Amino acid sequence: MTGNAGTTSSTFLGTTDAQPLVIKTNGSTRMTVAADGSMTMNSLSGAAGSASASATNQGAVISDANGLVSKASYASIVSAGLTNSTTGLTVGGPFTVSGLLTANAGLTVAGGSLNLTGANALKLNGSDGNAGEILQSNGAGAAPTWSNAFIKGRGLVSVTANESIVVSATNVDANDAINVTLEGSSNDMAIPSYYVVRTASTGFTIYFSAPFTGSCNWSVVNQ
């Protein structure tokens, strides 16, 4: 009750058989050291506090590979896996976020890949967009937007005295806009009128009112 004197490295507080060491107060178990060495704290009482990264007397309790428990400063924990900067956050190793990740100063992923999983993997200002839309850049200083107007295919084909030309575009559908521009092979040549007949998932055919020699610039725009 008042302490012991003359202790040596062979004296200890504990058990010599495969039984836990139980510490109680007021008849209730407060802490248990199991026979295998694992420790259980039944309750961490006291008023809940708020941690501050700038407080010198605060930190996190950690355990090393040998089971030594100590207090580590917030700064040392950050420097071990994360690098703070004024422009964002650099992650030097695996980084798992179970909840919402908010990066007010920007977020850069470098030297690896960004893998988005889940039913709502990517949102833009809270919007999932619609099926078939793409994320469109609106230039420097402007927020990107979901857009359904994008080029699905483009190309240039040559024609030699033909009245039709077949263009293969397997991703064309019944709603896409097909644009065609004719380029003649010489000055002052007669440019025939033309029309387009599409075959969904195959492509389209350009028909000319008269044999045409030149080239056709074409593009398929998603609608």
Report the distance separating Cα 69 and Cα 38, nearest Å: 12
Buried b (16+ CB within 10 A) or exposed e, 22-61: eeeeeeeeeeebeeeeeeeeeeeeeeeeeeeeeeeeebee
* Predicted model pTM: 0.42
* pLDDT value at residue 53: 55
* pLDDT value at residue 75: 66
- Reading the block at residue 131, the tokens are 């099926």
Q: Is the pLDDT of residue 52 over 80?
A: no
* pLDDT value at residue 149: 77
Regarding predicted confidence, which is higher, 79 or 216? 216
* pLDDT value at residue 123: 82
pLDDT-derived band of residue 45, with 50, 70 and 90 as boundaries?
low
* Region 10-22 average pLDDT: 93
Are 107 and 90 in contact by the 8 Å Cβ rule? The answer is no
What share of the chain has pLDDT > 90, as a percent? 30
* Region 30-36 average pLDDT: 90
* pLDDT value at residue 51: 60
* pLDDT value at residue 184: 84
Regarding predicted confidence, which is higher, 116 or 13? 13
What share of the chain has pLDDT > 70, as a percent? 83
State the DSSP code for 127: B
Q: For residue 220, which of 149, 154, 133 has the smallest C-alpha distance?
A: 154
* Region 99-120 average pLDDT: 75
Residue 31 CA to its chain's centroid (Å)? 42
* pLDDT value at residue 84: 52
Give the other-Cβ count within 10 Å of 189's Cβ.
11
CA of 2: how far to CAs of 5, 62, 140, 153, 197, in Å?
10, 31, 74, 88, 101
